[in-house]
Structure 1
Amino acid sequence: MSAPGLTDRERLAAEHALSLLEGEELLQARGLMVSDPSFAEEVAAWQERLAPLHDEFAEIAPGKQVWARIERKIAEDSRPAAEVVTLRRRIRQWQMASLVSAAAAIALAFFAIPAIQQQPANPAAPLMANIPIGETPLRLAVTYLPDSSEMLVSASGLTADGVHDHELWLVADEGAPISLGVVVPGEERRMPIDEALAQRIAAGSDLILTREPLGGHLPNSAAGPTVASGEFTKT
């Protein structure tokens, strides 16, 4: 669900600027950052707009002594037991509301400054490839994440011609090209990478985009003509 007054794209840019995204949305944003210059500008604008909020936060959770005092008052209350039970239930609700409010404040703080996330001792650097599409400013963005053994293929901005499909291939140092599947225009696709394929991906590995019949490359036939190419580089 979008934040009030924000489009889905603006929300994605804001949350990416502040390191709140994870999973598929994070991969989508990373793909847009390299394939869509206007999206990258939106992210930078959100970072500049929200950073000053960091100095405005203050603690809002009541201290333990407040809850102790309320509990003590309830224990001393001479009203019927049913009313005391109701009050105890309400105090638990207030405590829960306080925790939720504190969590919301922390979440808002993350909107104000990028989160400092604990990283693995020796994280593997992502690999990225920007494949130019003809003479247009469009790019097919491919991101390989070694730590999660996943690849994101972002075809944002591309449109289908209704006659052909385009297929992405990894050209390893040895052997025939390996199909990474049909590119779906206008979509970001995440795919798991098995160990055997992961061992063949490295900085400098080539990627090619071929034109194929609708549905993709036909089994037991040669790949179609290459229409674009690029290579993985470390980020």
Structure 2
Amino acid sequence: MSAQEPETAELTGDERLAADYAMGLLEGEELLAARGRMAREPAFAGRVAWWEQQLAPMLDDVAGEAPSDDLWDRIAEEIDDGEAGEVVTLQRRVAVWQRVAAGSAVAALAAVAMLFVPSMQPPGPAPAPATDAPPLVASIPIADTPLRIGLTYLPDRDEMLVAADGLTADGVHDHELWLVPPGDDPQVRSLGLIAPGEQRRVPLDPELANSMRQGAQILLSQEPLGGAPDKSAPGPVVAEGVLVKT
């Protein structure tokens, strides 16, 4: 290999799984298993967050492409002209092609990232962002179940990723996250409402982001629908966790 050629690395194991999740390529049982690991394993959630951070700018530059007006008509004609068995075979082939294309997309984006991000290496554990501040994660248990709410704070982007896949809305309450910074007489700050059964990216204002530090306490409170009336005082606290470095 010449000095000018970039080094590449094949993604395996958790690195590949985290990259696939970040690009939205997982489905079915694979997707559910990955979401469960994000909620239970802060280290894996940190890997996913790292890949999302690296790949998101590239995906933002990909323009959408609308199909031609007659595409669906031509597809319907092909199905009507063929046998049912041929349609099933075609569907299976399309699924295979989609997986092959998805794998190629991950490899291509990883290669491009290695060219344009000088210090980029597959996470295992996740490397520190450009700010030298690693992501902070908190795993918050849900009652007496093995389920967790996963929270990952990305210091270089002033945003957090909240995975509440295991939480179910009851129709009469909302759940809200709160930050209790470390130190004497800390001010409790609301981090916003939980979206039950979803994963969301939440931007933070600079003042609130500065309080997201190692050892800060994260509270989960039960509130009336719409959230706490007083954003400086949480309702009944039903779960809690602590921000730690990945």
Query: Aligned to 2:179, which of 166, 170, 189?
Result: 170
- C-alpha change, 1:170 and 1:105, in structure 2 (3 Å) is closer
Does the alignment pair 1:108 with 2:104?
A: yes
Instruction: Tell me what 2:138 maps to.
Output: 129
> Does structure 2 retain, via aligned residues, the 8 Å contact 1:31–1:152?
no
Q: CA RMSD in A?
A: 4.0
Q: How far 1:128 sits from its partner (Å)?
A: 0.4
> Which residue identity lines up with residue 179 of structure 2 in the other structure?
L
Instruction: Tell me what 1:73 maps to.
Output: none
Q: Map Cα deviations across residues 127-157 of structure 1 (whole Å, 9 max, x no partner).
A: 1000001100110100001122110111012
> Does structure 2 retain, via aligned residues, the 8 Å contact 1:31–1:141?
no
Q: How far 1:200 sits from its partner (Å)?
A: 1.0
> Does structure 2 retain, via aligned residues, the 8 Å contact 1:18–1:110?
no
> Which residue identity lines up with residue 182 of structure 1 in the other structure?
L
Instruction: Tell me what 2:194 maps to.
Output: 183
Instruction: Tell me what 2:148 maps to.
Output: 139
> Which residue identity lines up with residue 108 of structure 1 in the other structure?
S
Once residues 25 and 225 of structure 2 are traced to their aligned partners in structure 1, the CA distance between those partners, rounded to angstroms, is 28
> Which residue identity lines up with residue 144 of structure 2 in the other structure?
E
Once residues 220 and 201 of structure 1 are traced to their aligned partners in structure 2, the CA distance between those partners, rounded to angstroms, is 17
Structure 2 unmatched ranges of 5 or more:
1-12, 45-99, 121-128
Matched ranges for 1:193-208 at <5 A: 193-208=204-219
> Which residue identity lines up with residue 169 of structure 2 in the other structure?
A
Once residues 176 and 231 of structure 2 are traced to their aligned partners in structure 1, the CA distance between those partners, rounded to angstroms, is 15
Instruction: Tell me what 2:51 maps to.
Output: none
Q: How far 1:216 sits from its partner (Å)?
A: 0.7
Q: How far 1:32 sits from its partner (Å)?
A: 4.9
Does the alignment pair 1:227 with 2:238?
A: yes
Q: Map Cα deviations across residues 193-224 of structure 1 (whole Å, 9 max, x no partner).
A: 22211211111110000111111101378421
- C-alpha change, 1:113 and 1:148, in structure 2 (3 Å) is closer
Once residues 155 and 172 of structure 2 are traced to their aligned partners in structure 1, the CA distance between those partners, rounded to angstroms, is 35
> Which residue identity lines up with residue 164 of structure 2 in the other structure?
A
> Does structure 2 retain, via aligned residues, the 8 Å contact 1:143–1:151?
yes
> Which deviates more from structure 2 when the two are superposed, residues 108-117 or residues 197-206?
108-117
> Does structure 2 retain, via aligned residues, the 8 Å contact 1:167–1:183?
yes
Aligned-partner SS, 2:193: strand
Q: Map Cα deviations across residues 9-30 of structure 1 (whole Å, 9 max, x no partner).
A: xxxx99952735658999x998
Instruction: Tell me what 1:9 maps to.
Output: none
Larger radius of gyration: 1
Does the alignment pair 1:34 with 2:34?
A: no
- C-alpha change, 1:105 and 1:181, in structure 2 (3 Å) is closer
Once residues 139 and 229 of structure 1 are traced to their aligned partners in structure 2, the CA distance between those partners, rounded to angstroms, is 10
> Which residue identity lines up with residue 170 of structure 1 in the other structure?
L
TM-score, length-scaled by structure 2: 0.53
Corresponding pairs, count: 158
Does the alignment pair 1:155 with 2:151?
A: no
Instruction: Tell me what 1:19 maps to.
Output: 19
> Which residue identity lines up with residue 152 of structure 2 in the other structure?
T
> Does structure 1 retain, via aligned residues, the 8 Å contact 2:40–2:150?
no
